[in-house]
Structure 1
Amino acid sequence: MASTHKKDDGCGCFSWMLATILYNGFFILLTLLPSMRLLAYPDEKTTTCSVELAGFQGLQPALSSEVTSPAFDLIVRVTNGHTFSLRHGCDIVVSYAGVPLAHGRTPSFELGDKDVLALPVRATSAGVGIPGDLFRLMTDERRWGVAQLQVEFGLAWDTFVCDVELDGHPRVSECYSRSYVRRTDGTADK
Protein backbone atom coordinates (compact mmCIF):
# COMPACT_ATOMS: atom_id res chain seq x y z
CA MET A 1 0.00 0.00 0.00
CA ALA A 2 1.25 3.46 -0.85
CA SER A 3 1.93 6.05 1.81
CA THR A 4 -0.51 8.95 2.05
CA HIS A 5 2.02 11.27 3.72
CA LYS A 6 3.66 13.89 1.60
CA LYS A 7 7.39 13.70 1.55
CA ASP A 8 9.36 16.89 2.26
CA ASP A 9 12.20 16.69 -0.18
CA GLY A 10 13.64 20.08 0.84
CA CYS A 11 15.19 21.14 4.07
CA GLY A 12 13.24 24.39 4.34
CA CYS A 13 15.88 26.14 2.30
CA PHE A 14 13.35 28.32 0.53
CA SER A 15 12.04 29.66 3.84
CA TRP A 16 15.57 30.40 5.05
CA MET A 17 16.48 32.14 1.79
CA LEU A 18 13.32 34.26 1.90
CA ALA A 19 13.92 35.24 5.54
CA THR A 20 17.54 36.18 4.76
CA ILE A 21 16.53 38.29 1.76
CA LEU A 22 13.82 40.08 3.75
CA TYR A 23 16.13 40.72 6.72
CA ASN A 24 18.99 42.03 4.58
CA GLY A 25 16.59 44.12 2.47
CA PHE A 26 15.14 45.72 5.59
CA PHE A 27 18.63 46.46 6.97
CA ILE A 28 19.77 48.01 3.68
CA LEU A 29 16.59 50.10 3.48
CA LEU A 30 17.17 51.46 6.99
CA THR A 31 20.76 52.44 6.21
CA LEU A 32 19.76 54.19 2.97
CA LEU A 33 16.88 56.20 4.43
CA PRO A 34 17.75 59.78 5.36
CA SER A 35 18.17 60.54 9.04
CA MET A 36 15.59 62.54 10.98
CA ARG A 37 18.11 65.40 11.13
CA LEU A 38 18.38 65.43 7.32
CA LEU A 39 14.59 65.47 7.04
CA ALA A 40 14.37 68.35 9.50
CA TYR A 41 17.25 70.28 7.90
CA PRO A 42 17.25 69.39 4.20
CA ASP A 43 19.63 72.22 3.33
CA GLU A 44 22.06 71.20 6.13
CA LYS A 45 21.74 74.62 7.76
CA THR A 46 21.29 74.16 11.46
CA THR A 47 19.59 76.12 14.18
CA THR A 48 21.86 77.67 16.78
CA CYS A 49 20.80 78.88 20.20
CA SER A 50 22.22 80.79 23.11
CA VAL A 51 20.98 81.74 26.57
CA GLU A 52 21.73 84.81 28.66
CA LEU A 53 21.08 84.82 32.39
CA ALA A 54 19.64 88.31 32.90
CA GLY A 55 18.92 87.87 36.61
CA PHE A 56 17.98 85.45 39.37
CA GLN A 57 16.53 85.36 42.87
CA GLY A 58 15.67 82.88 45.58
CA LEU A 59 18.99 81.08 45.81
CA GLN A 60 18.71 80.44 49.56
CA PRO A 61 18.72 77.15 51.44
CA ALA A 62 15.33 75.49 51.93
CA LEU A 63 15.41 75.90 55.73
CA SER A 64 16.19 79.63 55.64
CA SER A 65 13.68 81.97 57.31
CA GLU A 66 13.58 84.16 54.16
CA VAL A 67 13.05 81.25 51.79
CA THR A 68 11.70 82.03 48.33
CA SER A 69 11.44 79.82 45.31
CA PRO A 70 14.32 80.01 42.81
CA ALA A 71 13.52 82.16 39.78
CA PHE A 72 15.65 82.93 36.73
CA ASP A 73 15.22 85.62 34.08
CA LEU A 74 16.60 84.27 30.81
CA ILE A 75 16.88 85.56 27.26
CA VAL A 76 16.86 82.71 24.73
CA ARG A 77 18.26 83.62 21.30
CA VAL A 78 17.46 81.40 18.33
CA THR A 79 19.20 81.78 14.96
CA ASN A 80 17.52 79.86 12.19
CA GLY A 81 19.33 78.57 9.09
CA HIS A 82 16.14 77.20 7.51
CA THR A 83 12.38 77.64 7.73
CA PHE A 84 10.22 76.01 10.37
CA SER A 85 7.39 77.08 12.57
CA LEU A 86 6.90 76.51 16.27
CA ARG A 87 3.47 77.55 17.43
CA HIS A 88 3.43 76.48 21.07
CA GLY A 89 6.79 77.69 22.35
CA CYS A 90 9.09 75.35 24.19
CA ASP A 91 9.55 74.22 27.77
CA ILE A 92 12.72 75.21 29.59
CA VAL A 93 14.28 73.47 32.59
CA VAL A 94 16.97 75.17 34.71
CA SER A 95 19.11 72.71 36.72
CA TYR A 96 22.11 72.83 38.99
CA ALA A 97 24.29 69.72 39.39
CA GLY A 98 21.55 67.68 37.72
CA VAL A 99 18.81 68.87 40.13
CA PRO A 100 15.96 70.80 38.45
CA LEU A 101 15.50 74.18 40.14
CA ALA A 102 12.97 75.94 37.90
CA HIS A 103 10.74 75.50 34.85
CA GLY A 104 9.58 78.02 32.28
CA ARG A 105 8.10 78.31 28.80
CA THR A 106 8.97 80.57 25.90
CA PRO A 107 6.19 82.52 24.25
CA SER A 108 5.00 80.94 21.00
CA PHE A 109 6.86 82.15 17.95
CA GLU A 110 7.37 81.57 14.25
CA LEU A 111 10.84 81.79 12.79
CA GLY A 112 11.58 82.22 9.08
CA ASP A 113 14.68 81.48 7.02
CA LYS A 114 17.83 83.01 8.58
CA ASP A 115 15.80 84.88 11.21
CA VAL A 116 17.15 85.68 14.67
CA LEU A 117 14.81 85.92 17.63
CA ALA A 118 15.33 86.82 21.30
CA LEU A 119 12.72 85.41 23.70
CA PRO A 120 12.42 86.53 27.33
CA VAL A 121 11.66 83.65 29.71
CA ARG A 122 10.92 83.62 33.43
CA ALA A 123 11.70 80.19 34.89
CA THR A 124 10.28 79.66 38.38
CA SER A 125 9.83 76.88 40.90
CA ALA A 126 6.74 75.86 42.79
CA GLY A 127 8.98 74.35 45.47
CA VAL A 128 10.59 76.16 48.37
CA GLY A 129 14.30 76.88 48.33
CA ILE A 130 17.25 74.69 47.49
CA PRO A 131 18.17 71.50 49.41
CA GLY A 132 20.95 72.15 51.97
CA ASP A 133 23.64 69.95 50.36
CA LEU A 134 22.99 71.45 46.93
CA PHE A 135 23.06 74.97 48.38
CA ARG A 136 26.44 74.31 50.03
CA LEU A 137 27.84 72.93 46.75
CA MET A 138 26.48 75.95 44.86
CA THR A 139 27.96 78.37 47.41
CA ASP A 140 31.39 76.72 47.25
CA GLU A 141 31.40 76.59 43.45
CA ARG A 142 30.29 80.24 43.20
CA ARG A 143 33.15 81.20 45.51
CA TRP A 144 35.60 79.28 43.29
CA GLY A 145 34.09 80.82 40.14
CA VAL A 146 32.99 77.53 38.57
CA ALA A 147 29.23 77.49 39.29
CA GLN A 148 27.13 76.73 36.21
CA LEU A 149 23.43 76.35 35.65
CA GLN A 150 22.27 73.99 32.95
CA VAL A 151 19.41 75.27 30.79
CA GLU A 152 17.70 72.66 28.60
CA PHE A 153 14.92 73.11 26.04
CA GLY A 154 13.49 71.37 22.99
CA LEU A 155 13.26 73.15 19.66
CA ALA A 156 11.99 71.52 16.47
CA TRP A 157 13.81 68.16 16.18
CA ASP A 158 16.58 68.94 18.68
CA THR A 159 17.07 69.33 22.39
CA PHE A 160 19.49 72.13 23.24
CA VAL A 161 21.56 72.45 26.41
CA CYS A 162 23.39 75.56 27.63
CA ASP A 163 25.88 75.77 30.46
CA VAL A 164 25.35 79.24 31.96
CA GLU A 165 27.83 80.82 34.37
CA LEU A 166 26.27 81.67 37.73
CA ASP A 167 28.56 84.55 38.65
CA GLY A 168 26.01 87.38 38.67
CA HIS A 169 27.30 88.95 35.44
CA PRO A 170 25.07 88.81 32.36
CA ARG A 171 26.77 86.93 29.56
CA VAL A 172 25.66 84.91 26.59
CA SER A 173 26.30 81.15 26.66
CA GLU A 174 26.19 79.17 23.44
CA CYS A 175 24.03 76.04 23.47
CA TYR A 176 24.86 72.65 22.05
CA SER A 177 22.50 70.12 20.56
CA ARG A 178 21.91 66.82 22.38
CA SER A 179 22.13 65.09 18.97
CA TYR A 180 25.85 65.94 18.90
CA VAL A 181 28.47 64.34 21.11
CA ARG A 182 30.20 66.95 23.25
CA ARG A 183 33.97 66.58 23.51
CA THR A 184 36.02 67.51 26.56
CA ASP A 185 37.53 70.57 24.85
CA GLY A 186 34.04 72.14 24.56
CA THR A 187 33.54 71.52 20.85
CA ALA A 188 30.93 69.21 19.39
CA ASP A 189 31.06 66.36 16.88
CA LYS A 190 28.23 64.71 15.00
Structure 2
Amino acid sequence: MASTDDSKGGACCHLVGWVFLALFYFAIFVVPMTLLPPDLADPGNLPTTCSVELTGFKGLQAASAPGATSPAFDLVVRVHNGHNFHVSHGGGDVVVSYAGVPVARGRTPSFGLYAKEAVALPVNATSQGLGVPEDLFRLLTEERSRGVAQVEVELKVAWEAFACDVDLDGGHPPRASACYKPTTIYY
Protein backbone atom coordinates (compact mmCIF):
# COMPACT_ATOMS: atom_id res chain seq x y z
CA MET A 1 0.00 0.00 0.00
CA ALA A 2 2.89 2.37 0.62
CA SER A 3 3.99 1.96 -3.00
CA THR A 4 0.59 3.25 -4.22
CA ASP A 5 0.97 6.47 -2.23
CA ASP A 6 4.48 7.00 -3.64
CA SER A 7 3.27 6.69 -7.23
CA LYS A 8 0.51 9.22 -6.58
CA GLY A 9 3.05 11.60 -5.03
CA GLY A 10 5.38 11.22 -8.03
CA ALA A 11 2.55 11.89 -10.49
CA CYS A 12 1.59 14.97 -8.51
CA CYS A 13 5.19 16.26 -8.67
CA HIS A 14 5.31 15.65 -12.44
CA LEU A 15 2.02 17.51 -12.92
CA VAL A 16 3.25 20.43 -10.80
CA GLY A 17 6.48 20.48 -12.82
CA TRP A 18 4.58 20.62 -16.15
CA VAL A 19 2.27 23.34 -14.86
CA PHE A 20 5.29 25.33 -13.69
CA LEU A 21 7.01 24.94 -17.10
CA ALA A 22 3.83 25.99 -18.92
CA LEU A 23 3.45 29.08 -16.73
CA PHE A 24 7.14 29.91 -17.17
CA TYR A 25 6.87 29.65 -20.98
CA PHE A 26 3.70 31.75 -20.97
CA ALA A 27 5.29 34.44 -18.76
CA ILE A 28 8.57 34.61 -20.69
CA PHE A 29 7.43 34.27 -24.32
CA VAL A 30 3.68 34.71 -24.80
CA VAL A 31 2.88 37.66 -22.52
CA PRO A 32 5.73 39.94 -23.73
CA MET A 33 4.82 39.34 -27.39
CA THR A 34 1.20 40.34 -26.77
CA LEU A 35 2.10 43.40 -24.71
CA LEU A 36 4.70 44.80 -27.12
CA PRO A 37 3.61 47.27 -29.80
CA PRO A 38 3.22 45.50 -33.16
CA ASP A 39 6.39 47.04 -34.60
CA LEU A 40 8.51 45.61 -31.76
CA ALA A 41 6.78 42.23 -31.67
CA ASP A 42 7.59 41.78 -35.39
CA PRO A 43 10.90 43.46 -36.29
CA GLY A 44 9.91 43.58 -39.98
CA ASN A 45 6.80 45.60 -39.13
CA LEU A 46 7.84 49.25 -38.86
CA PRO A 47 5.66 52.32 -38.26
CA THR A 48 4.32 54.63 -40.93
CA THR A 49 6.64 57.59 -41.48
CA CYS A 50 6.11 60.93 -43.21
CA SER A 51 8.13 63.84 -44.49
CA VAL A 52 7.09 67.19 -45.93
CA GLU A 53 8.82 69.24 -48.60
CA LEU A 54 7.94 72.90 -49.14
CA THR A 55 8.15 73.48 -52.90
CA GLY A 56 6.76 77.01 -52.95
CA PHE A 57 4.82 79.68 -51.10
CA LYS A 58 3.29 83.11 -51.62
CA GLY A 59 1.33 85.72 -49.70
CA LEU A 60 3.67 86.06 -46.74
CA GLN A 61 3.35 89.81 -46.45
CA ALA A 62 1.71 92.04 -43.89
CA ALA A 63 -2.07 92.13 -44.09
CA SER A 64 -1.89 95.94 -44.34
CA ALA A 65 0.49 95.84 -47.32
CA PRO A 66 -0.95 97.11 -50.59
CA GLY A 67 -2.04 94.18 -52.75
CA ALA A 68 -1.70 91.67 -49.88
CA THR A 69 -2.74 88.17 -50.91
CA SER A 70 -3.71 85.07 -48.96
CA PRO A 71 -0.84 82.89 -47.75
CA ALA A 72 -0.50 79.72 -49.82
CA PHE A 73 1.95 76.81 -49.57
CA ASP A 74 2.75 74.11 -52.11
CA LEU A 75 3.82 70.96 -50.28
CA VAL A 76 4.80 67.43 -51.14
CA VAL A 77 3.89 64.97 -48.38
CA ARG A 78 5.76 61.67 -48.59
CA VAL A 79 4.27 58.71 -46.74
CA HIS A 80 6.08 55.42 -46.25
CA ASN A 81 4.07 52.45 -45.00
CA GLY A 82 6.54 50.50 -42.88
CA HIS A 83 3.84 48.04 -41.79
CA ASN A 84 3.44 44.50 -43.06
CA PHE A 85 -0.17 45.26 -43.96
CA HIS A 86 -2.20 47.56 -46.23
CA VAL A 87 -2.81 51.12 -45.03
CA SER A 88 -5.60 53.23 -46.52
CA HIS A 89 -6.31 56.90 -46.01
CA GLY A 90 -9.42 58.77 -47.06
CA GLY A 91 -7.72 62.17 -47.16
CA GLY A 92 -7.11 64.41 -44.20
CA ASP A 93 -6.59 67.94 -43.01
CA VAL A 94 -3.23 69.68 -43.27
CA VAL A 95 -2.59 72.80 -41.19
CA VAL A 96 0.38 75.11 -41.81
CA SER A 97 1.24 77.29 -38.81
CA TYR A 98 3.82 79.94 -38.11
CA ALA A 99 4.75 80.63 -34.46
CA GLY A 100 1.72 78.60 -33.38
CA VAL A 101 -0.72 80.61 -35.53
CA PRO A 102 -2.47 78.69 -38.34
CA VAL A 103 -1.89 80.57 -41.61
CA ALA A 104 -3.13 78.04 -44.21
CA ARG A 105 -5.10 74.80 -44.55
CA GLY A 106 -5.28 72.06 -47.13
CA ARG A 107 -6.11 68.36 -47.55
CA THR A 108 -4.17 65.29 -48.52
CA PRO A 109 -5.74 63.19 -51.25
CA SER A 110 -7.01 59.67 -50.60
CA PHE A 111 -4.56 56.82 -51.08
CA GLY A 112 -3.88 53.19 -50.28
CA LEU A 113 -0.46 51.66 -49.65
CA TYR A 114 0.43 48.01 -49.55
CA ALA A 115 3.10 46.75 -47.18
CA LYS A 116 6.38 48.70 -47.40
CA GLU A 117 5.11 51.01 -50.20
CA ALA A 118 5.60 54.78 -50.35
CA VAL A 119 3.73 57.63 -52.03
CA ALA A 120 4.32 61.35 -52.69
CA LEU A 121 1.19 63.51 -52.35
CA PRO A 122 0.88 67.09 -53.62
CA VAL A 123 -0.92 69.37 -51.17
CA ASN A 124 -1.90 73.00 -51.68
CA ALA A 125 -2.64 74.78 -48.40
CA THR A 126 -4.31 78.18 -48.64
CA SER A 127 -5.87 80.78 -46.38
CA GLN A 128 -9.16 82.62 -46.47
CA GLY A 129 -7.60 85.75 -44.96
CA LEU A 130 -5.35 88.30 -46.59
CA GLY A 131 -1.74 88.54 -45.55
CA VAL A 132 -0.23 87.88 -42.14
CA PRO A 133 -1.12 89.86 -38.96
CA GLU A 134 1.37 92.71 -38.31
CA ASP A 135 3.02 91.28 -35.16
CA LEU A 136 3.41 87.89 -36.75
CA PHE A 137 4.79 89.47 -39.93
CA ARG A 138 7.46 91.37 -37.95
CA LEU A 139 8.58 88.11 -36.31
CA LEU A 140 8.54 86.36 -39.67
CA THR A 141 10.64 89.10 -41.28
CA GLU A 142 13.18 89.00 -38.44
CA GLU A 143 13.51 85.20 -38.49
CA ARG A 144 13.76 85.10 -42.29
CA SER A 145 16.58 87.69 -42.18
CA ARG A 146 18.46 85.35 -39.82
CA GLY A 147 17.61 82.27 -41.93
CA VAL A 148 15.76 80.48 -39.11
CA ALA A 149 12.09 80.87 -40.10
CA GLN A 150 10.12 77.62 -40.01
CA VAL A 151 6.51 76.68 -40.52
CA GLU A 152 4.96 73.73 -38.74
CA VAL A 153 2.89 71.37 -40.87
CA GLU A 154 0.40 69.18 -38.99
CA LEU A 155 -1.41 66.32 -40.70
CA LYS A 156 -3.10 63.00 -40.13
CA VAL A 157 -2.31 59.92 -42.16
CA ALA A 158 -4.58 56.92 -41.69
CA TRP A 159 -5.00 56.79 -37.90
CA GLU A 160 -1.79 58.62 -36.94
CA ALA A 161 -1.04 62.33 -36.41
CA PHE A 162 2.25 63.87 -37.58
CA ALA A 163 3.95 67.27 -37.38
CA CYS A 164 6.90 68.55 -39.37
CA ASP A 165 9.06 71.64 -38.86
CA VAL A 166 9.85 72.89 -42.37
CA ASP A 167 12.46 75.56 -43.15
CA LEU A 168 10.70 78.43 -44.88
CA ASP A 169 13.73 79.39 -46.95
CA GLY A 170 15.18 75.91 -47.38
CA GLY A 171 17.07 76.69 -50.58
CA HIS A 172 17.15 74.91 -53.92
CA PRO A 173 16.41 72.12 -54.32
CA PRO A 174 14.01 72.14 -51.37
CA ARG A 175 14.74 69.48 -48.81
CA ALA A 176 12.25 67.22 -47.12
CA SER A 177 11.76 67.54 -43.37
CA ALA A 178 11.08 64.37 -41.40
CA CYS A 179 7.87 64.37 -39.40
CA TYR A 180 7.43 63.38 -35.77
CA LYS A 181 4.52 62.38 -33.55
CA PRO A 182 3.30 65.56 -31.83
CA THR A 183 2.08 65.71 -28.27
CA THR A 184 -0.98 67.79 -29.28
CA ILE A 185 -2.74 68.57 -32.53
CA TYR A 186 -4.47 71.94 -32.95
CA TYR A 187 -7.14 71.38 -35.58
TM-score by length of 1: 0.71
Q: For the structure 1 residues 122 and 41, does the alpha-carbon distance in structure 2 shift closer, same or farther, using more than 3 Å as the test?
A: farther
The Cα of 1:90 is off from its aligned counterpart by 1.6
Query: What's 1:141 paired with?
Result: 143
Contact 1:158 1:179 in 2 (8 A): no
Q: Distance in 2 between matches of 1:42 and 1:109?
A: 27
Letter in 1 for 2:111: F
Which of the numbers 154, 178, 182 marks the counterpart of 1:178? 182
Query: What's 1:52 paired with?
Result: 53
Tell me the percent identity: 57
Contact 2:39 2:47 in 1 (8 A): no
In the alignment, is residue 69 of structure 1 matched against residue 73 of structure 2? no
Return structure 1 stretches of 4+ with deviation > 3 angstroms: 37-44
Q: Report the 3-state secondary structure (helix = DSSP H, G, I; strand = E; otherwise coil) of the residue aligned with 1:176.
A: coil
1:35-184 alignment, distance < 5 Å: 38=37, 43=42, 44-82=45-83, 83-167=85-169, 169=171, 170-178=174-182
- The CA RMSD measured in Å over matched residues stands at 2.4
Q: Distance in 1 between matches of 2:51 and 2:157?
A: 12
Contact 1:70 1:124 in 2 (8 A): yes
Q: Distance in 1 between matches of 2:75 and 2:97?
A: 13
Q: Distance in 2 between matches of 1:146 and 1:53?
A: 15
Q: Distance in 2 between matches of 1:125 and 1:40?
A: 38
Question: Which structure: greater helix fraction?
Answer: 2
Query: What's 1:187 paired with?
Result: none
Q: For the structure 1 residues 168 and 68, does the alpha-carbon distance in structure 2 shift closer, same or farther, using more than 3 Å as the test?
A: farther
Q: Distance in 1 between matches of 2:89 and 2:154?
A: 19
Q: Report the 3-state secondary structure (helix = DSSP H, G, I; strand = E; otherwise coil) of the residue aligned with 1:134.
A: helix
Q: For the structure 1 residues 91 and 42, does the alpha-carbon distance in structure 2 shift closer, same or farther, using more than 3 Å as the test?
A: farther
Q: For the structure 1 residues 179 and 61, does the alpha-carbon distance in structure 2 shift closer, same or farther, using more than 3 Å as the test?
A: closer
Q: Distance in 1 between matches of 2:110 and 2:100?
A: 27
Q: Distance in 1 between matches of 2:40 and 2:126?
A: 33
Contact 2:95 2:125 in 1 (8 A): yes
Q: Distance in 1 between matches of 2:96 and 2:40?
A: 27
Letter in 2 for 1:176: Y
The Cα of 1:65 is off from its aligned counterpart by 1.1
Larger Rg: 2
Contact 1:160 1:177 in 2 (8 A): yes
Q: For the structure 1 residues 126 and 40, does the alpha-carbon distance in structure 2 shift closer, same or farther, using more than 3 Å as the test?
A: farther
The Cα of 1:138 is off from its aligned counterpart by 0.3
TM-score by length of 2: 0.72
The Cα of 1:89 is off from its aligned counterpart by 1.1
Query: What's 2:28 paired with?
Result: none
Structure 1 portions without partners, runs of 5+: 1-31, 181-190
Q: Report the 3-state secondary structure (helix = DSSP H, G, I; strand = E; otherwise coil) of the residue aligned with 1:92.
A: strand
Letter in 2 for 1:54: T
Aligned residues: 147
